[in-house]
Amino acid sequence: MMDFLGWLEGTGFSIWVREAPTIWAFSTILTLHTFGMGVLVGASALLDLRLLGIGRTMPLGPLESLYRIMWAGFWLNLVTGTMLFAADATSRGTQWLFFVKLLFVGLGVATMILIRRQVYGAKTEPVAVNGATRGLAVASLGAWVAAIISGRLLAYVN
Amino acid sequence: MPFMNITHLHLLMNHVPTVGTVIGVGLFLLALVRRNEHLKHASLEVFFLIALATLPVYLTGVAAQQALQGRPDVSAAAIAAHHDAALLAFILMMITGFVAWLALWQFRRHGRSAGWTTGAILLLAVLTLAVVAPAANIGGEIRHPEIKLDADAIAPAGVWISAAAVQDLVTTRPWVWPAAETLHFIGLSLLFGVLFAVNLRLLGGLRGVSFASLHRMLPWGMLGFGVNLITGMLFFIAAPEQYTNNAPFLWKIICLMVAGVDLLYLTVFDKIWALEPGDEAAMLDKAIAATAIVAWVGVIYWGRMLPFLGNAF
């Protein structure tokens, strides 16, 4: 495993991301990662809040298009996150907090998909919000908050 | 060539909080006496905009303090006293601005604001005025000995809060900065999620939703903004030298001012409020929404680029 991480970190691409003396490498990729986070978590949180009863006058149907925004944020962050990981593979790949973050991101995405199935799975009208959906909305908010906490603390914890 | 520096900007803007609060309080009292709701609405808008403008006044003031450090002809103690008084005035001004915004939001939704906001704003605005005027006066004495009644005395700030105490809180406890950073990112997500969605509605996304029902979510965006204002100020006060001489930070604040004006527009304007499901916004409203999204992206961009393009951290 260490061999692989070492190889990954030593590729020309990883070195470019990490060391290129241009703002378009590491700093821009990191900024895009932050932007993607705002897009994904923001859109997801908006739907979660609606499911928890805030802004009930918003019809659920049209809110399904929030999923396009969420997935755009997700893919942006998968790509930028992979690039950032490659640049620091040996340190990130051996950092337990990094895997905690991945776990919470996975949980966040899983709840996002489950909510879509529950609310919009019926193909016709969105299903009325029930206890299970509200539980998923709380889990979603919790997972994103935990993912942000663990991700942000990566910069401070070894 | 830049035609002015940040300290100069402070001198240009530093009367805005005091004069603005006087105008705001005057309009508000007049509205209460004449029982005029339109006037009250206007005074709430004044309070919001003055609070918005007070942010750069405070920030440029700290930049001026940095620039004047170590100069024998300026009293560091007088500047510190001005800073402490200004910090309390800033905090009160921000709270006043938040409550004024909440009242404007209620006005839009219910045609009137809740009773408690009137009392709260009156109290907060008068308190702000009582603190901001002396703060400005102490500031004037830094460079204008001719206005001092007692030439030798350095006016005490006379407030219970001090920038040094805030700095101490953040720098002596190693967990405060990372904790505040984490909250800053959570606040960012909430703030951006809400304001992106509301502005996107004007651009034609989420068209099946009426503007009024998305307007309901604005306080959640404001909650995110509040978290980020508090945590952001902790960073700024703890390590001002990272920000006051940092071009990306200046751009971030400029973007924030644009986004703040847009927030007022989203909160109060009639034409967009009337957008029913399926309705398309007018071209001008679309242009404003696009500008606002660019401004928020700019806030994130310049904020995240602080360590790379500037000298933060």
Enumerate residues 269 to 298 of chain B having a beta carbon within 8 A of any beta carbon in chain A.
Answer: 277, 297
Interface pTM (ipTM) of the complex? 0.94
Cross-chain residue pair B297–A144, CB shorter than 8 Å: no
Q: Rounded mean pLDDT of B69-85?
A: 88
The 10s digit of each residue's pLDDT in B165-206 is 999 999 999 999 999 999 999 999 999 999 999 999 999 999
- Please indicate if any CB of chain A lies within 8 Å of the CB of B304: yes
CB contact under 8 A, B300 and A61: no
Which residue on chain B is closest to A63 by alpha carbon?
A: B206
The pLDDT of residue B214 is 95
Distance from CA of A1 to the nearest CA of B (A): 30
Q: Is the pLDDT of residue A130 over 90?
A: no
Instruction: State the nearest Cα–Cα gap between A145 and chain B, in angstroms.
Output: 7
Question: Contact A152/B220, CB-based, under 8 Å?
Answer: no
Q: Which of A35, A37, A58 sits opposite B213 (nearest CB)?
A: A58
Find the range with the poorest average confidence among A122-131, B42-51, B60-69. Answer: A122-131
Question: How far A29 CA sits from the closest chain B CA (Å)?
Answer: 10
State how far the Cα of B23 lies from the Cα of B28, in Å rounded to an integer: 8
Mean pLDDT calculated for residue range B87-91: 95
pLDDT of B8 strictly over 60: yes
Q: What's the confidence (pLDDT) of residue B151? A: 61
pLDDT of residue B163 exceeding 60: yes
Residue A132 Cα, gap to closest chain B Cα (Å): 23
| pLDDT for position B1 | 44
Cβ pair B189:A46 closer than 8 A = no
Query: According to the model, what pLDDT value does residue B312 have?
Result: 64
- CA dist B63 and B101 (Å) reads 28
CA nearest B174 in A: which residue? A156
CB contact under 8 A, A148 and B297: no
Q: Does B145 touch chain A (CB under 8 A)?
A: no
Q: Taking CB atoms and an 8 Å cutoff, what residues of chain A touch B217?
A: 46, 49, 54-55, 58
Predicted local distance difference test score (pLDDT) of residue B313: 59
Contact A17, A29 (CB under 8 A): yes
Q: What is the pLDDT of residue B154?
A: 65
B276/chain A closest Cα distance in angstroms: 11
pLDDT(B239) > 50 = yes
Task: Output the pTM of the full model.
Answer: 0.93
Spatial distance between the Cα atoms of A37 and B137, rounded to a whole number of angstroms: 44
A46·B209 Cβ contact <8 A: no
Q: Is the pLDDT of residue B56 over 60?
A: yes
- Under an 8 A CB cutoff, do A58 and B300 touch? no
Tokens encoding B87: 């910090």
Rg (CA), chain A: 18
The C-alpha of B215 sits at a distance from chain A's nearest C-alpha, in angstroms, of 9
Closest-CA residue of B relative to A28 is B305
Confidence of residue B70 (pLDDT cuts 50, 70, 90): confident
User: Do A38 and B193 contact (CB within 8 A), yes or no?
Assistant: yes
* For residues A28-51, average pLDDT: 96
Measured between beta carbons, the chain B residues lying within 8 angstroms of A146 are none
Q: If 0-12 CB within 10 Å is exposed, 13-18 middle and 19+ buried, where does residue A100 land? A: middle
| pLDDT at position B234 | 96
* Predicted confidence (pLDDT) at residue B14 exceeds the cutoff of 60: yes
Of chain B, the percentage scoring pLDDT greater than 70 comes to: 95
Give me the pLDDT at residue B284, please.
Answer: 96
pLDDT bucket at A31, cuts 50 / 70 / 90: very high
Q: From residue B309, how far is each of A88, A138, A142, B204, B220 by CA, in Å?
A: 21, 38, 33, 34, 31
Q: Can you give A80-127 as a three-state secondary structure string?
A: HHHHHHHHCHHHHCCCHHHHHHHHHHHHHHHHHHHHHHHHHCCCCCCC
Least CB-CB distance to B205: which of A27, A54, A65?
Answer: A65
CA distance A41 to A152: 14
- Write down the mean pLDDT value for chain B: 91
| Nearest CB partner across the interface for A55, out of B185, B205, B217 | B217
